[in-house]
Structure 1
Amino acid sequence: MTSTLAVRARALVKHFGEVVALDGVDLDVAEGQVHGLVGPNGAGKTTLLGLLLGLAVADSGRLEVLGTPVGRTLSVPEGVAGFVDGPGLYPSLTARQNLSALAALRGQGAERAAGVGAALEQVGLADVADDPVRGFSLGMRQRLGLAAALLTKPRLLVLDEPANGLDPAGRHHVRRVISGLAADGVAVVLSSHRMDDLAVLCSEVTILATGRVVFSGPVSKLAAERDTLDYRLLTSDVAAAERVAAETPGLDVLRERDPGVRSDPEALVVRGSVPVLDDLVVRLVRGGVALREFAPVVPPLEAAFLALTGTGPGATQTDREDAR
C-alpha cells in the first residue's frame, strides 16, 4: 500500500540575490515517515525547512504540503509545526508561561491549559516547567521548542537540529518522542549533522550539497553508497594479521602516512569493500588470529555522506567538483 505524501516538492529553486540556495530540489515525505535532511553548512537545508514552514516562498517549482499546493504567499496549511534556527522563546517567562502564551496567541488559551502540561511532560521538562527559560541550557531550549510544536497536534513536524545541545539521555528522550509521533502517522522532516540520529530515527534521507540533491532514498541504501570502508582491527597478533591482510585480494593496509590513520602499534587499519572485509575475517579465523575489535574508522553513513558531498578525505576530485 502506498503511503500518502505529506510533502511533495518538485524542481524547487530559491535565490537570495545572486546566491542560489536551492537548485531544482525534489523531495517526497510520506505520512508516518521520519525523513532526514543533511548536508554541509550552506547546503540549503535551512532554506528548504523554511519553505516547508511557510517562512519563505520558492522562486520556482512546485510544492504541496499536506495535499495543499503552496503558492507565492507566506503560508502553509493547518497541521504544520516546527522551528528553524532554534525555537523563539521569551527568556524572562517560565517554560509553562511560554507555552501558555503561544497557545493564547493561537486563540487556544483556555482549552489548551491541559495540553501545555502534557507537552512539557512529553519532552521531559515537567520538573522545570515553572523555571525561567533564561536559565535553560541549549538542549532544554530545543526540547521546549519541540513541546511548543506538539501543542498544535501537527500532521507535519519540521525540526532544525532537534538534538542540538542534548546530552545522551536527552537525545534518547527526543528520539523516543519523534519515533512515537511517526508511529501515530505524523510526518517528520528533521535536519541533523549527527549520523547516529539518522541511523536510529530516519527511514529515508535527502542529502544536499550547494543547493542540489546528491542523494535521496533509504538510509540503508545510503550506507551502501560507499564502495570502500576503512576498518580498524585489534587482534591477538598484529604481525600475523598484517600478513593475512596483505595476502587478501582487494584489501589495502593503511600506513601512518595515510590521512586519518592513528598511530597504534597494536592496531591495524585496512580499506576494502564489504565482501573483501568479510573475506579478511574468514582468513584471520582460519589462520588462528583472534579478532578483539573490528569496527569502522568512520561509521558507514558518515563515510557515505562525506564522499557524496565531496567534503571528506575519501572523496575524489570528481566528487568535489560534482558537489560544487
Structure 2
Amino acid sequence: MKARGITKCFGDVVALDGIDFDVAPGEIHGLVGPNGAGKTTLLGLLLSLAVADEGSLEILGTPVGRALAAPAGVAGFVDGPGLYPALTARQNLAALAALRDAAADIDDTLGRVGLADVADDRVRGFSLGMRQRLGLAAALLTEPRLLVLDEPANGLDPAGKKHVHGVLEQLADGGTTVVLSSHRMDDLEALCSEVTILATGRVAFTGPPAKLAAENRELAYRLRTSDPAAARRVIASTPGVAADDGPRQDEEVLVVRALVPALDELVRRLVGEGVAVRELAPVVSPLEAAFLALTEQENAR
C-alpha cells in the first residue's frame, strides 16, 4: 500500500496535509497521534469511505480513484463495527456474508475470535469487547488481504486482548496486511513492526517503534541492580546519565535519564564493576513518550 501527498479537507479543516504513507504486505502497521491528528480520516480513505482531495493512493497494487468503492480484498471498520443489535452473533455474520456474497464458515469465524460460546446470543447484550471481536469476525468473512481496524482492543480484557493479538499475528504471518489505530501504546508496541505518528494531519514519525528510543529526547528508565549503592556511584560517573532522585516506593529501583548511547555505556560500566543488571526498562515507552510530546505541543498552541 502506498500513499503520496494525500490531502483531505472538511470545509476549512485540513484533516490530512500532504502525507506519505507506506505499508508492506504482511505488515502490522500502527497509527497513533493526538485526537484530531487525522488517524480516522486516513483509515476511512483506506476503506474508501471517503476520497482524497489531492495525492495518489494505491491499495493492493490497485490505484484508488474517485469512486467510493474499496478494492477487492479490503475489509475493516472505523468508529466501531456496524452490527444489528436485535440479531444474534451468528445471524449478524450470516446477513453480512449474504450481502457480500461471501461463502464463509460462520461457526469457524466465530471460533477464531473467541465467540463460539455466544454465537446464538443477541448482540444487544454484548459488552464493548465482544462487539469489537464480532466486528473483527465480520471483517474476516471475506478473507481480506488488507484489514483496517480502528481501536480493535477497545473493551477487551487481558485474555480477550491476547486472543485478538494472536488472530492478527496469524493473519500477518499468512500475508495479510493490517493497519490499526489505537491509543493503547502497549498494543501497538506488542503487535506492530512499524508505526506512523500523525500530528495535525502530518506525519511526525514513521518506522519501527524501537527507532523512537534512538530519535527521542532523553527517556526515564527503571534500573534494578544487585547493588544499588554501587550503581549510584557508577551513574554519577557516567557522562550523559542523570539520576532521578524523586520519591520512590522501592529503594532498590533507581530511575535514570539518558539517551540510548549513554545508557549503553552505563550498562557496560555497571557490568565492569561487577554490578548485575536485573531490570532496565523505560518508565514510559518511547512510543508513549513521543505521543505525550506531540500532545503537549498541541496543547501549547
Once the two structures are superposed, the pairs formed by residues 22-171 of structure 1 within 5 Å of their partners are 22-108=16-102, 111-112=103-104, 115-171=105-161
What is the aligned counterpart of 2:283 among 281, 291, 297?
Answer: 297
Aligned-pair distance for 1:139? Answer: 1.1
Q: Helix, strand or coil for the counterpart of 2:65?
A: coil
Instruction: Say if 2:238 and 2:265, in contact at 8 Å, map to a contact too.
Output: yes
1:255 aligns with 2:249: no
Question: In structure 1, what residue type is equivalent to 2:182?
Answer: S
Structure 1 residue corresponding to 2:200, chosen from 191, 196, 210: 210
Aligned partners of 2:40 and 2:138: how far apart in 1? 19
Give per-residue Cα distances to partners, 1:89-143, cap 9 Å, x unaligned: 11121100111111122244xx44xx21111011111111111111211111111
Consecutive aligned runs of 4 or more in structure 1 exceeding 6 Å deviation:
none
Given that 1:223 and 1:304 are in contact with CA atoms closer than 8 Å, whether structure 2 keeps it comes out as no
Q: Distance in 2 between matches of 1:121 and 1:198?
A: 24
Q: Deviations over 1:269-313 (max 9, x none)?
A: 111122322332333344454544332211233234444xx236x
Q: Aligned-pair distance for 1:236?
A: 4.8
Report the secondary structure of 1:171's partner residue: helix
TM-score (norm: length of structure 1) = 0.85
The two structures, once aligned, show a CA RMSD in angstroms of 2.2
* One-letter amino acid of the structure 1 residue matched with residue 17 of structure 2: D
Q: Using a 3 Å threshold, how does the CA distance of structure 1 residues 278 and 31 change in structure 2: closer, same or farther?
A: closer
SS at match of 1:46: helix
How far apart are 1:88 and its partner, in Å?
0.8
- Quick check: 1:11 aligned with 2:1? no
Q: Deviations over 1:233-271 (max 9, x none)?
A: 234554443232112111111232xxxx75654432111
- Equivalent-residue separation in structure 2 for 1:106 and 1:293 (angstroms): 51
- Over 3 Å counting, the alpha-carbon distance change for 1:101 and 1:214 in structure 2 is same
Given candidates 219, 222, 234, the residue that maps to 2:224 is 234
Partner of 1:190: 180
Secondary structure at 1:30's aligned position in 2?
coil
CA distance in 2, matches of 1:10, 1:91: 39
Q: Indicate if the aligned counterparts of 2:213 and 2:260 stay in contact, CA closer than 8 A.
A: no
Q: What SS does the aligned partner of 2:143 have?
A: coil
Q: Is the contact between residue 161 and residue 192 of structure 1 (CA under 8 Å) also seen in structure 2?
A: yes
- Rounded Cα–Cα distance in structure 2 between residues aligned with 1:249 and 1:84: 47
Report the count of equivalent residues.
300
Query: What residue ranges of structure 2 are gaps of 5+ in the alignment?
Result: none
- Aligned counterparts, 1:253-292, within 5 A: 253-256=243-246, 262=248, 264-292=250-278
Instruction: Give the alignment partner of residue 295 of structure 2, picking from 302, 305, 311.
Output: 311
Deviation of 1:16 after TM superposition, in Å, equals 1.3
Residue 90 of structure 1: SS of its match in structure 2? coil
The partner residue of 1:172 within 139, 162, 173 is 162
Tell me the amino acid that sits aligned with residue 54 of structure 2.
S
Give the deviation of 1:159 after TM superposition.
0.6
Separation of aligned partners in 2, 1:82 and 1:236: 49
Give the deviation of 1:153 after TM superposition. 1.3
Identity %: 72
Query: Unaligned stretches of 5+ in structure 1?
Result: 1-6, 313-319
Normalising by structure 2, we get a TM-score of 0.91
Distance 1:282 1:221 in 2: 21
